[in-house]
Chain A
């Protein structure tokens, strides 16, 4: 049952990811990226990460994709669409991609994963609830990185405004 759902979601995610790379039109690529993000979010549900699935849909498929589509609207793409979408080094890249995959697969096949389990087994997660357990660990053990992430978002916001605004007084 689980395996069937995994294969369905994974197959659709990989298909959409391939379409993101191969579509000529930027808007089509963006919409296929939304579909990829949705299928990956459903994989998170299979992995008992319901909170992260919701965050993925809200932040990625909601905020980031709207940002990308707005940028596509702001920029006149006619000139971009006419040129050849592929870089001239594409055969080399296509050759190197499977090599990268092969390396990762070899490492995964040889890897020995530690089997010292942590405290959040799936039974306990089901009893406590994923979001509650996640919040408890985020606001205790990972509190300092959480604060740093908020500073990072502030810096990104200021940087985006400064970069994208028009020069004043010109």
Chain B
């Protein structure tokens, strides 16, 4: 039996790697992929708790997270395509119309 804290640390590490990726990369597609990594870290935590507390609610939450991730990927990639069509760049430094 693996202690639950190992799973929580793994979830935290995956979340941190995703967060650092979001903050350090300039390519919008890679930023989207790093957000998927963060969602996966959260899912690991939810499912670890579901198993340890013997409550399937955590697994149901994880499947809703996966649903939201699918919707987010579809809308995000559509935004990226229309952005590339208008500005012909994916560099988030150059997409700064709303920046103060």
Residue of chain A at shortest CB distance from B81: A164
One digit per residue, 1 when the CB lies within 8 angstroms of any chain B CB and 0 when it does not, for chain A 115-130 equals 0111111101000000
Interface residues on A, range: 35 or more
Within the complex, which residue of A40, A86, A94, A160 is in contact with B25, where a contact is CB–CB below 8 Å? A86
Residues 122-170 (chain A) with a chain B CB within 8 angstroms = 122, 124, 133-134, 137-138, 141-142, 145, 149, 152-153, 155-157, 159-161, 163-164
Chain A contact residues: helix, strand, loop or mixed = helix
Q: How far is the CA of A155 from the CA of B67 in the complex (A)?
A: 12
Instruction: Summarize B's interface: helix, strand, loop or mixed.
Output: helix
| Nearest residue, chain A, Cβ from B82 | A163
Q: CA–CA, A79 to B27, complex, Å?
A: 11
Chain A window 17-49, contacts with chain B (Cβ cutoff 8 Å), 1 for yes, 0 for no: 110110000100110010011001001101111
Complex contact A87–B93 (CB within 8 A) = yes
A101 part of interface (Cβ distance < 8 Å)? yes
Complex contact B23–A134 (CB within 8 A): no
Query: Would you give the shortest CB distance from A47 to chain B, in whole angstroms?
Result: 5
Q: A43 CA to B50 CA in the complex, in Å?
A: 13
A46 in contact with B2 (CB, 8 Å): yes
Q: Is B60 an interface position by the 8 A CB rule?
A: yes
By the criterion CB–CB under 8 Å, are A79 and B47 in contact? no
- A112 and B19 alpha carbons, distance in the complex (Å): 26
> Nearest chain B CB to A145's CB is how many angstroms away?
6
A120 with B26: CB separation less than 8 A:
no
Q: How far is the CA of A62 from the CA of B1 in the complex (A)?
A: 30
Tell me whether B89 and A33 are in contact (CB under 8 A).
no
Closest chain A residue to B62 by CB distance?
A: A52
Inter-subunit contact A75/B12 (CB<8 Å): no
State whether A118 touches B55 (Cβ < 8 A).
yes
Whether A118 lies near B24 (C-beta < 8 A) is: no
Question: What residues of chain B lie closer than 8 Å to A161, measured between beta carbons?
Answer: 78
